[in-house]
Amino acid sequence: MAIHYDASNRLFHLQTAGTSYAFELVEGRYPSHVYWGRRIRGQQLHRLVERSMRPSFSPLPVPGRHDLSFDTMPHEYPGYGNSDYRSPAFEARYNNGSSVTDLQYESHEIISGKLALPGLPAVYVESDHEAQTLRIKLRDSLSGLVVTLSYTVMEKLDAITRSVSISNEGSEAVELRRVLSMSLDMPDDRYDLLQLSGAWSRERDVYRSPLRPGMQSIESRRGSSSHMQNPFIALLEHGATEDTGSVYGVSLVYSGSFLAGVEVDQFRTARLFIGINPFDFGWRLEAGETFQTPEAVLVYSPDGLGGMSRIYHELYRTRLCRGQYRDAERPVLVNNWEATYFDFDADKLEAIASVGSELGIELFVLDDGWFGRRNDDTSSLGDWFVNEQKLPGGLQDVAGRINKLGMRFGLWVEPEMVSPDSELYRAHPDWCLHVPGRYRTEGRQQLILDLSRPDVQQHLIETISGVLNSAPISYVKWDMNRNMTEIGSALLPPERQRETAHRYMLGLYNVLEKITSAFPNVLFESCSGGGGRFDPGILYYMPQTWTSDNTDAVSRLRIQYGTSIVYPVSAMGAHISEVPNHQVGRITSLETRGHVAMSGNFGYELDLTKFSDEDKAIVRNQIAEYKAIRPLVQFGDFYRLHSPFEGNVTSWMFVSKDRTESMVVYVQVLNEPNEPLGRLKLKGLDPSRDYRLIGTDRIYGGDELMYAGIAAPRFNRDFGSAMLRFVAE
Ligand code: DGJ
């Protein structure tokens, strides 16, 4: 049993393999957080809560109970208006203009398995034995709003998911203003807040800072999860490291605007929350209707940040990603974007693919520029028919030529967009997000289709399905290259305009669900100017994401390291591109670019026909080596050894599940004279086994490699790198 209900103390205790999570019903009606942390065996958790009168300025909601104030009580899902002054998880506006809500326990049920979230991506189970779910109903009796809190315990995978549904059982419409996916109150503030923040080409830098009184939060207002912030935060107890100490992660399975944060209050408790961004959000809930929030995934680890990451990796790789590619090795690909940009014809593509096939590449991806009249980025998005001038034989011809080389064929699309200079826009000018009478702000000369509209969704499903049926296409790169402005929909009435951005996400998820399930043999990779939508919501539909448009090996150390805080390596596209690098102008060796890119879903993003014979020999070896380590990289356990955010060296390693194989990547950015001799200590190996360093006859004990380490590689140049592979004897 993963979920226990102690009826006498009215306390719920949820247990995963390593975690306990508990809350109680104060006065039999108010859900109050009790504990989240390392697993506790016993069931007497009610003893953890000590209530006493706090000499604060806090009103007392229950007459006679001087020890109970909502302002100091740890909450599970706080409403607004009756004396908790911290940031609420829930806020509704009622017909009488008031926003006061009083949510009280009504009933609960505990069921086997996990329910799907209607219209939304979520962690799933393959059998009911994998999870138990608690659904607890709270009611605001005056309005008739019923708020159901769902908690699923993924016992073995060591995670708890939370989501909320709101049903209007009253007789009048209500406007939901704030419906976060989770909120809980930690008993103190002795934590650091960790966030993944960045920009285009510099996604997911790791920031860590101690909590302070007041609100500290991150958010996206862009209509997508964004390059700037990722829908994830973690609290690390002071002193927690990569390998030790308590870490609490919350991650949101959603791809739109979000809010995540912590509020430290007057008694230095810390309210942790995540959900849809209430900014510019509203949802009119008619009598009889239900609203479902996205899912939050809570992971606790006593084994530092690395322990938390490995729980997320396993969970997201095996129970968020879906489809036949979930467990399949991902192909080595070559993409023509940086090789040709918009300037190509079928012969040029075939020439690149031909060298690729000779070198062992398995998939050729035709990027932007194959459709409409697209010769630059000023036109044709929406016109998903072949540009006959460039490709007179159509996609059939190109795909046929690629297939003849023994390679599979993949295609780039950007379905959510429309160029003002396109046949689609001329035919349907009201199909984009816009506000009547206002200027339609363009980004990269394009507008965003209004995916909140069922007719636009249907058009995309049909058009993109038509493209995928028109040729043997086995891979799709689904791109999205701008953020929302003038967020409004021509089909929604004024009182529903604030629903547009969330309805867009629901529409996108519907389109993705339909297309990915109609084409189960196609591998889908998402992209948003690189990693502008690298989030769990998108991974539910497409099991890998183009990590960043920045392919420079040094920049990628930070980008891939930061991404690995939450996301599995099997989700990260990583390619070798040419030097000087197109984004930062840096020159690094083919070897170093290879070592970094081989730490993800490997590929090339350059003109292979320009390679010398010497380079081709290196590339041939890289591809052969990658194929040998591919299962280890894509499905092994990932350990971070040195952080690029803390010094000149980055290293990480992969260990197979049975601990018989491992691979270490070590990169030193700048060479320094007379540096101290460093040691490289490995992780995750079996201390009782011996391992041979491949390519040598040196044998090391697993304990020796982990506790004493080996001499760190040394280089006589900047950007030096080494890849070390160990196999158990
Ligand atoms: C942005 C992507 O991130 C690039 O890889 C490339 O596909 C371009 N879009 C094409 O326009």
The phi-psi region of residue 614 (left if phi > 0; otherwise alpha if psi is between -120 and 50; otherwise beta) is: alpha
User: Angle at which helices 613-635 and 346-359 pack, to 10 degrees?
Assistant: 70
Say how far apart CA 603 and CA 582 lie, in whole Å: 16
Mean pLDDT calculated for residue range 559-569: 98
Say which residues have a Cβ less than 8 Å from residue 317's Cβ, sequence separation at least 6. Answer: 326, 568, 570, 571, 635
Cα 26 to the center of its chain, rounded Å? 35
Single out the residue of 23, 31, 162, 122 nearest to residue 14, CA to CA. 23
pLDDT greater than 80 at residue 51: no
The answer to whether the CB of 546 is under 6 A from ligand 1 is yes
Pocket test of ligand 1: the residue of 337, 446, 575 to mutate, having most ligand atoms within 8 Å of its CB, is 337
- High-pLDDT (> 90) share of the chain, %: 95
Distance 527 CA to ligand 1 centre (A): 8
Does 537 contact ligand 1 (Cβ within 6 A)?
no
- Under the phi-then-psi rule, with left for phi > 0, alpha for psi from -120 to 50, and beta for the rest, what region is 237? beta
Cβ–ligand 1 contact at 549 (below 6 Å): yes
Q: Mean per-residue pLDDT for 61-73?
A: 88
**Is the minimum distance from the CB of 368 to ligand 1 under 6 angstroms?**
yes
Please tell me the residue having the least CA distance from ligand 1 atom 10: 368
Number of the ligand 1 atom closest to the C-alpha atom of 367 = 7
Measure CA 401 to chain center.
36
Dist. CA 529 → ligand 1 center (Å):
6
293 pLDDT above the threshold of 80: yes
Pocket lining: 367 vs ligand 1, CB cutoff 6 Å: yes
Tokens, residue 216: 């500290």
**The pLDDT of residue 540 is above 80:** yes
User: CB of 529 closer than 6 A to ligand 1?
Assistant: yes
**Confidence at 401, pLDDT banded by 50, 70, 90:** very high
On the question of pLDDT at 6 being above 70, the answer is: yes
Q: What is the mean pLDDT of residues 102-118?
A: 97
d(CA 315, CA 231) in angstroms, rounded, equals 16
Q: Is 62 exposed, middle or buried (0-12, 13-18, 19+ CB in 10 A)?
A: middle
Checking DSSP bridges between strand 333-335 and strand 601-605, what pairing results, if any?
parallel
582-593 average pLDDT score: 98
User: What mean pLDDT comes out for the span 51-64?
Assistant: 79
Model confidence band, residue 606 (pLDDT cutoffs 50, 70, 90) = very high
* Residue 684 CA, ligand 1 centroid: distance in Å: 36
pLDDT at 400: 98
Find the mean pLDDT for residues 256-265.
98
Ligand 1: centre distance to CA 337 (Å): 7
* Cα 99 from Cα 79, distance rounded (Å): 9
Q: Any idea which residue has 């002071």 for tokens?
A: 238
Does residue 479's CB lie within 6 angstroms of at least one atom of ligand 1?
yes
Cα gap 729→724, rounded to integer Å: 16
Q: Which of 476, 480, 527, 575 to mutate to test the pocket of ligand 1 (most atoms within 8 A of CB)?
A: 527
pLDDT of 96 over the 90 cut: yes
pLDDT (average), residues 391-412:
98
572-577/601-605 β-pairing:
parallel
pLDDT of residue 52: 72
Residue 105 gets which letter from DSSP?
E
Q: Which residues of 463-494 are buried (b: 16+ CB within 10 A; e: fewer)?
A: bbeebbebbebbbbbbbbbbbbbbbbbbebee
DSSP annotation of 446: B
Cβ proximity of 58 and 72 under 8 Å? yes
CB of 416 closer than 6 A to ligand 1? no
Evaluate whether 336 touches 344 at the Cβ level (below 8 Å). yes
User: What's the average model confidence in pLDDT over 203-218?
Assistant: 98
pTM above 0.85, yes or no: yes
Q: Which two tokens stand for residue 638?
A: 């990932």
Contact criterion met (CB below 8 Å) for 551 and 583: yes
Mean pLDDT of the chain: 97
DSSP calls for 217-280: EEE--SSS--SSEEEEEEEEETT--SSSB-EEEEEEE--S-EEEEEEE-TT--EEEEEEE--TT
Find out whether 607 and 356 touch, Cβ atoms under 8 Å: no
Ligand 1, atom 9, lies closest to the CA of: 529
For residue 475, the CA-to-ligand 1 centroid distance in Å is 15
Ligand 1 pocket residue status of 527, Cβ below 6 Å: yes
Residue 257: is its pLDDT beyond 70?
A: yes
Q: Write down the pLDDT at residue 48.
A: 82
Cα of 90 from ligand 1 centre, angstroms:
38
Model confidence at 443, pLDDT cuts 50, 70, 90, reads very high
In the reported structure, the alpha carbon of residue 206 is separated from the centroid of ligand 1 by a whole-number distance in angstroms of 24
What pLDDT is recorded for position 1?
A: 78
Residue 49: pLDDT over 90: no
Mean pLDDT of the region 272-287: 98
Confidence of residue 42 (pLDDT cuts 50, 70, 90): confident
In tens, the pLDDT along 486-507 reads: 999 999 999 999 999 999 999 9
From ligand 1's centre to the CA of 634, what distance in Å? 24
Q: Which atom of ligand 1 is nearest to the CA of 549?
A: 3
Which residue in the block uniquely carries the two structure tokens 């989770």?
182
- Identify the pLDDT of residue 55: 65
Q: Which of 202, 335, 343, 412 to mutate to test the pocket of ligand 1 (most atoms within 8 A of CB)?
A: 412
Average pLDDT over residues 225-232: 98
Q: Name the nearest CA neighbour of 368 among 338, 404, 405, 334.
A: 338
Give which of 632, 660, 650, 621 is closest to 570, Cα–Cα: 632
Evaluate: CB of 530 within 6 angstroms of ligand 1.
Answer: yes
Residues 512-531: what's their mean pLDDT? Answer: 98
Tens digit of each residue's pLDDT (9 = 90 or more) over 142-200: 999 999 999 999 999 999 999 999 999 999 999 999 999 999 999 999 999 999 999 99
| Spatial distance between the Cα atoms of 492 and 489, rounded to a whole number of angstroms | 6
Q: Which residues are part of the catalytic machinery?
A: 479, 549
412 touches ligand 1 (CB under 6 Å): yes
In whole angstroms, how far apart are CA 581 and each of 339, 605, 722? 12, 11, 20
Q: Quick check: 358 and 613 in contact, CB under 8 A?
A: no
